[in-house]
Copies of this chain bind each other. A is one copy, B any other.
Amino acid sequence: MPADLDSVNIEPEKGRAYHHGALRDALIAAARDLIEERGVDAFSLRETARRAGVSPAAPAHHFDGTRGLLTAVAAGAFRDFGDALAAADGSARGRTARIRAQGLAYVRFALDHPARFDLMWRRGLIDGDDPDLKAVADRAFLILDRAARGAEEATHGSADVELAPSIAAWSLVHGFARLAMEGAFGTEPDAAERAAETMLPRVLDHLAL
């Protein structure tokens, strides 16, 4: 199994062997491309199979139906998302700087991969109980939470109280990302991008931590 899904050839090869060899990964990549091109709602198992160059019945050998495949795509998204947050976190020093860096990375990921970001929150389409999905999702949330709590992490008693700054930061960037994606800051192609560049840093100034 290749570590990098981008390297998987999802096109049907001329004279390709009867056995694909890496169909599972190819299907995930094809599904990912499909939703990024046409949106989560345009996903279909048949179209994914078509893109991977296999028959409509082939995916059943690797995934438990539509939900199973989408869950795998979402897990990949959460993994990349967590990586982006971790990288941003590592590049900054100090609690405020780390939160800002993660916030920018959070919105950046959403705007760079809108359909995958969308899918991550589509509880109805994916299996929230899947252990792989849970693991990568929890990891991403933990990275956020640790930065928001900063050094206070281990010193406070009431979980509720110390959760508030985390959730405030999370809500702020999540809301900004969604509003940008949903066209609230303008529907021109580059409106979301411009808002993220010029507006978001200022918006983050209004977060009291």
A interface list, Cβ under 8 A from B: 39, 41, 121, 123-124, 128, 141, 160-161, 163-165, 167-179, 182-185, 187, 198-199, 202-209
Q: How far is the CA of A199 from the CA of B160 in the complex (A)?
A: 8
Q: How far is the CA of A124 from the CA of B115 in the complex (A)?
A: 13
Q: Are B41 and A168 in contact (CB under 8 A)?
A: no
Q: A187's closest neighbor in chain B, by CB?
A: B128
Can you list 6 A-B pairs, Cβ within 8 angstroms, ordered by A? A121-B178, A121-B182, A141-B184, A167-B185, A172-B172, A174-B175
Q: Are A175 and B170 in contact (CB under 8 A)?
A: yes
Q: A161 to chain B: which residues have CB within 8 Å? A: 202
Q: How far is the CA of A124 from the CA of B42 in the complex (A)?
A: 11
Q: A165's closest neighbor in chain B, by CB?
A: B206
Q: How far is the CA of A208 from the CA of B207 in the complex (A)?
A: 6
Counting every copy of the chain, the complex holds 2
User: Quick one: given A160-B198, A161-B202, are A178 and B176 in contact (CB under 8 Å)?
Assistant: no
User: Quick one: given A168-B172, A175-B172, A179-B174, are A199 and B121 in contact (CB under 8 Å)?
Assistant: no
Q: How far is the CA of A164 from the CA of B199 in the complex (A)?
A: 7
Q: How far is the CA of A174 from the CA of B165 in the complex (A)?
A: 16
Q: Are B172 and A179 in contact (CB under 8 A)?
A: no
User: Quick one: given A41-B41, A175-B174, A178-B174, are A168 and B123 in contact (CB under 8 Å)?
Assistant: no
Q: How far is the CA of A205 from the CA of B39 in the complex (A)?
A: 36
Q: How far is the CA of A177 from the CA of B179 in the complex (A)?
A: 12
Q: Are A41 and B172 in contact (CB under 8 A)?
A: no
Q: Are A206 and B176 in contact (CB under 8 A)?
A: no
Q: A203 to chain B: which residues have CB within 8 Å? A: 164, 167-168, 171
Q: Closest CB-CB distance, A114 to chain B, in whole Å? A: 11
Q: How far is the CA of A185 from the CA of B170 in the complex (A)?
A: 11
Q: Closest CB-CB distance, A41 to chain B, in whole Å? A: 7
Q: A182 to chain B: which residues have CB within 8 Å? A: 121, 123
